[in-house]
Chains A and B, each alone.
Chain A
Amino acid sequence: MTTTMTSHTIAVLVNDQPGVLQRVSGLFGRRGFNIESITVGQSEEEGLSRMVIVTQGDDKTLEQIEKQLYKLIDVIKVVNLSSKPMVARELALIKVKSEPAERPEIMGVVETFRAAVVDIGTNSMIVQVVGDTEKIDAMIELLHPYGIRELSRTGVTAMIRGNA
């Protein structure tokens, strides 16, 4: 068992009950587990939601996180996604300052990243970008010089590749 701190992506299938997010996030907080990002939404089954949590920790911490999550009555299943090849995506909306003269330049960045412009104002535009965390970080870095007015990221949602 290693003690290296690594990033782990965990999917947690939970009963869609009021307070379930509080139970899960509260468990992380009080047991000293880190949450880098947490997303939650409907799953393929009615009445169940899927949370995707990105956390940092060594293998021992990860084992405790999984075991402690299973103690919650509303938790149906815990899957360590990062133990297998996975697809991980997050979405960001970036409102960037853009005087008309700068727009073509920004559009160039947007196209290169296969992002999209979803709103244009008189001197700003909203860029929507989907991808893994690194891609979004890179996009933000590139847009930074133009002046980012507002930034909203969703956190990671993820799935194991193939039939698993």
Chain B
Amino acid sequence: MSAQIPAVRSTEQLREKWMKPEVITGSEILLRSLVLEGVECVFGYPGGAVLYIYDALYGFKDFHHLLTRHEQGAIHAADGYARASGKVGVCIATSGPGATNTVTGIATAFMDSVPLVVITGNVVSSLIGTDAFQEADITGITMPITKHSYLVRSVEELPRVIHEAFHIANTGRKGPVLIDIPKDVSADKTLFEPVQSINLRGYNPKVVPNQHQLEKVAAAIKEAERPVILAGGGVVYSGGHEELLEFVTRTEIPITTTLLGLGAFPSGNPLWMGMPGMHGTYTANQAIQNSDLLINIGARFDDRVTGRLDGFATHAKVVHIDIDPAEIGKNVKTDIPVVGDVKTVLELLNPLVSRSDKADAWRSQISQWMADKPYKYKDSDTVLKPQWVIELLNDTTKGEAIVTTDVGQHQMWAAQYYKFNQPRSWITSGGLGTMGFGFPSAIGAQMAHPDRLVISINGDGGMQMCAQELAICAINNIPVKVVVINNQVLGMVRQWQELIYENRYSHIDLAGSPDFVKLAEAYGVKGLRASNKEEAKQAWKEAMETPGPVLVEFVVSKEENVYPMVTQGSTIDQMLMGDCE
């Protein structure tokens, strides 16, 4: 049952091997090009339109191919791989239903700026447009959720298209790129010569910022009495976390990191205020609302962060640093726009900035808020509290694990109570909020980091959206520790129905869920269950000591809510504090 998890390896020698010009099929061109792009691992699912590609994959050993049990599993795994590694994630699906099954995953990656190359097969060119068997216009369907897409019309253009796709996916503001390959193109032959150059006239991401704008930022910092940094996923994606730490160390400006920015800044640092927004800390939200200078570094002012826009940071001069110029001014009026790569911007900005005494009173105010209003919950000795479970995971792993989550209450508790200290160790669907993402993305993350501990935290709802991928863990011995926080309901929906829809609990009862322990065992994965603290400690200890994949179900309190909470239509300082009061 257990092939060892394949080791990720250097592709230098493989590059040598595949560089020689040769007449080969489109399918072979695809595989060689993927190797030349440095691909180590591909997630996919075969079908009629990609049979030539899978034929070429027969016995192909120069990258790993993992056969998932659903295309949604494949694309979320590719996404998790990309987020954990910083490389491009690759997914292969067949035409029609195979391709459309990837749509949710493409949209997820698009919203969170994750570099993916999605390869779909299509019916033979002559049948395109005839409503042929398993035909879908996947380039048309995915146009709004891809950074770019290609429908390849001849085998000759395939090498260029693949090279461009990787370049586009992983430069500028990153994102998914789709390559749709008709079946005849994957069968046709041509002379393959690896493409070395890129010629995309309309695509020149601005990496280096305008120096004059940086000087304006430095001057604003010098004058500010209540400055705040809001850092987002852009810090992680640009690899600018060390520069961010230096920026904060130099300026001593209090910092909050968005959901996707968790891990971009060490949580133990006294200037870190936690996460802002809907379920953010009291301190982060008060700090933003009372700031006179708000420095946004690689975040996009999502509505879950800003709350009601007309009441957001109304006293602040706004600096917005982003590689995507379209984000600047899109939601929040910006006073000092800085277009550029976060890492490059901070490298150039750091020498210009220093600590200002003018903000001393502000710093003490923030420390006071942090001391007065931390995240809090009412613990219990009779029922298991989900927050306590997250603390257990945090304590036993010392914040060193890679954590992926699904979407809902458990996601917010994980964001609140797990303490992240390094980038790319927190993988979650932020923008799209995709249930079913948590577990398969952990498989991808584990493929990227075979030697690290990967924990996937899921609710009982989301776990059932991609549970079939337990097979992948078992068959490849991928040692993900799968956590199911089971409260028997759709918890976040329940919370909204309680707080906003006057306790009208409409269709949230997940009665009929499988016995998760037996479900795991049915797939050949060890399953454990805990319903109180003692059992929880024991089960988690056993999970950690067991090599290979383990599913641990924590049966928790059903009524628990995520606090604090900013309801929709409120400004972010109008928070329901709940147990945090």
Show the binding face of A for B, using Cβ within 8 Å: 14-15, 18-19, 22-23, 26-27, 30, 60, 63-64, 67-68, 70-77
Contacts and interface: CB of A to CB of B under 8 A. Distances in A.
A138 to B, nearest CB: 39
Q: Is the interface of A mostly helix, strand, loop or mixed?
A: helix
21 contacts: A14-B202, A15-B202, A19-B139, A19-B140, A19-B151, A22-B140, A26-B143, A27-B144, A30-B144, A64-B326, A64-B329, A64-B330, A68-B326, A70-B325, A71-B147, A71-B324, A73-B148, A73-B168, A73-B202, A76-B201, A77-B202
5 pairs of A and B residues whose beta carbons are closest in the complex: A67-B326, A76-B202, A73-B148, A75-B202, A73-B203
Nearest to B326: A67
A155 B201 CA distance: 28
A74 B144 CA distance: 14
Contact of A22 (B143, B200, B325): B143
Interface residues of B, number: 18
A25 B473 CA distance: 43
Interface string B307-330: 000000000000000001110011
Nearest to B330: A64
A73 B200 contact: yes
A22 B146 CA distance: 14
B325 A23 contact: no
Given A64-B326, A71-B324, A73-B200, 13 more contacts: A15-B202, A18-B151, A19-B151, A22-B143, A26-B143, A30-B144, A60-B329, A68-B326, A71-B147, A71-B326, A75-B202, A76-B201, A76-B202
A28 to B, nearest CB: 11
Most buried by A among B147, B173, B202, B326: B202
A19 B168 contact: no
Contacts of A19: 139-140, 143, 151
Contacts of B144: 26-27, 30
Given A19-B143, A22-B140, A72 B202 contact: yes
A33 to B, nearest CB: 12
Contacts of A18: 151
Nearest to B325: A67
A64 B333 CA distance: 12
Contacts of A72: 148, 202
Most buried by A among B139, B144, B326: B326
Contacts of A64: 326, 329-330
Contacts of A73: 147-148, 168, 200, 202-203
A127 B392 CA distance: 81
Nearest to B148: A73
A15 B151 CA distance: 15
A102 B330 CA distance: 56
A75 B325 CA distance: 15
Interface in B61-117: none
Most buried by B among A22, A73, A76: A73
A33 B326 CA distance: 14
Nearest to B173: A71
Contacts of B326: 64, 67-68, 70-71
A22 B144 CA distance: 10
Contacts of A15: 201-202
Interface string B123-158: 000000000000000011001100110010000000
Nearest to B175: A71
Nearest to A67: B326
Contacts of B168: 73
